[in-house]
Structure 1
Amino acid sequence: MKKYSILLVVILIAFNSCKEIDCCVSPPFINLKFTHNWNGIPITNEDFSALKFTNENGEKLSIEKLRYLISNINLMDSKNYTLVDVGENTGTEISILDVKNGTYNLSFRFGFANEDNKDGEYQFLNSVNFNVPAMLGGGYHFMQFDGKYIDDNNQEAGFNYHTIRAVDRTNLTDLKFEDTSFEVNLGKVEIKNNTEIEIKVNIAEWFKNPNLWNLNELNTNLMGNFEAQKMMNANGKSVFSLGKVVNK
């Protein structure tokens, strides 16, 4: 009987020790890192405000502001959104906890889908002037991309490449909308312990694929341009791609 008692104590000690070890093990840590480039040449906020980029149409341009919205990252359980502000270098890295090791399909949405694009709903976006005016249907921007370019008269001019939910204002008493947010599916990634996933963002793609963008024709007042918004939606689908996946 004494032997059984000693054995039981040993088992209980071992069991409790395992529980203590388990509770102290950190869960897998995932870091999504958005990096930006122009056809493979890295871009940071230090590259802003200089006419150093050339788009597919041959126009020399600068980046003055670049911030965009992503939502519903599928590795996170609940509804979520992040404002990536390249100029301020904020939102470019997103930490995700409590994802079990395994292989996952990584996806997120550029902008807000219609059901999430509720006017005035998000206090942070309200505070940083990311709203869309009521005359254009309210809700929120998907991207604010501002810069300058050299026009056909060899003069410096401004552009505002802003993406929102497309709105047809032909009849001002009956606005018609089209959801121009889109899902970005980056394919399969392996999560193993602490994992850093690079998401590459090629800014040049906004101007070339499938629609060759002429800044002399489409430069400002694009938010209310129904056809331009649909063109930007199409071009945006080649902007994002999967970069390095590093398991640490």
Structure 2
Amino acid sequence: MKKIFALLFFCFVLISCKNDDDNIDCCSQPIVTDVTFTFSHNWEDTEVTENDFNTMQYINANGEVLTIARIRYLLSRFELVNTNGESFPLTGYKLIDLSNPESFTFNTTISDGTLYPGLYTLKFVYGFNEEDNIDGAYPDLNSASWNWPAMLGGGYHFLQFDGMYNVDTTSSPFNYHNGTARISDGNYEQNFVSFEFFPEVEINYNTTIEIKMDISEFFKNPITWDLNQYNTPLMPNYDAQKMMQQNVGSVFSIGQITQE
């Protein structure tokens, strides 16, 4: 009888220790507690760094020659979804500033649930969603002058992208700033974008995922952006804000994934 009980107990342990999602024995595999993201930036196939600001010239899809003076953007609501559809949120949000390479690394932890090595779908939000975009709620973003004007809906910027266009002829400034879209006085529309990347990425112990930004996509997909028409000010311009929302959809992609 004792042998039967021992055998049943051993089988129970094996079954309970099995991760059905990825067919991994959790008794022998480490639990994933954190994931690191790095951010890289390019114009099509050319890397863009702060050393290129105000000097390197780029040609957008509409034919305007431009230079870049500043790019800052906010990403939030990072999460991993396993093949069973279970979601594992990651902590925090990240403001990336191309003039500050230290901001190109984002260390997150698993905020809810037990994550085991396997294949996961990566999701995140460009900007803040309606629940998170609370006016004045984040001291670090307040000190970074990242606030979106209250008269335009409040909350925070999603993107600040500044530079000069037509630099080969009569140079003029542009301010490609994105956030909540103002329809009319007191009437606003959320303008964030939710990203979901396929195929799944392999998550293991000490995984680093590169998020790539192709800056040229802001001006060409699906809308060919005419800087001669939409340059500055764009923050109170509802049509411009909604066009930005559409063009952001192709800006980000997953790059290199490394495991330690």
Q: TM-score range by the shorter chain?
A: 0.7 to 0.9
The RMSD of aligned alpha carbons is: 2.0
Specify which of 189, 203, 207 is matched with residue 215 of structure 2.
Answer: 203
Please name the residue that 1:165 is paired with: 180
* TM-score, structure 1 as length reference: 0.83
Deviation at 1:79, TM superposition (A): 5.7
Counterpart of 1:33, as a letter, is T
> Which amino acid in 2 is paired with 1:144?
Q
Structure 2 unaligned segments of length 5 or more: list them: 1-26, 81-87
Say whether residues 1:181 and 2:192 are aligned partners.
yes
Distance 2:118 2:38 in 1: 19
Aligned counterparts of 1:178 and 1:147: Cα–Cα separation in 2: 27
Unaligned runs of 5+ residues in structure 1 are: 1-21
Percent of aligned pairs with the same amino acid: 42
Q: Which residue of 2 aligns with 1:71?
A: 76
In 2, Cα distance between equivalents of 1:27 and 1:217? 49
- List 4+ stretches of structure 1 deviating above 6 A: none
TM-score normalised over the length of structure 2: 0.79
Q: Secondary structure at the match of 1:158?
A: strand
Pick one of 94, 101, 104 that aligns with 2:106: 94
How many residues are treated as equivalent by the alignment?
A: 220
Residues 28 and 192 of structure 1 are in contact (CA less than 8 Å); yes or no, is this contact kept in structure 2?
Answer: no
Contact 1:51 1:149 in 2 (8 A): no
1:91 match: secondary structure = helix
* Contact preservation (8 Å) 1:163, 1:232: yes
Mapping of residues 47-196 of structure 1, within 5 Å: 47-75=52-80, 77=89, 80-97=92-109, 99-150=115-166, 154-169=169-184, 172=185, 175-187=186-198, 188-196=200-208
Structure-2 change in CA distance of 1:78 and 1:42 (3 Å) = closer
CA contact (8 A) 2:148 2:157 kept: yes
Q: Which has the larger radius of gyration?
A: 1
Corresponding residue SS for 1:74? strand
Q: Find the residue that maps to 1:183 and give its secondary structure.
A: strand
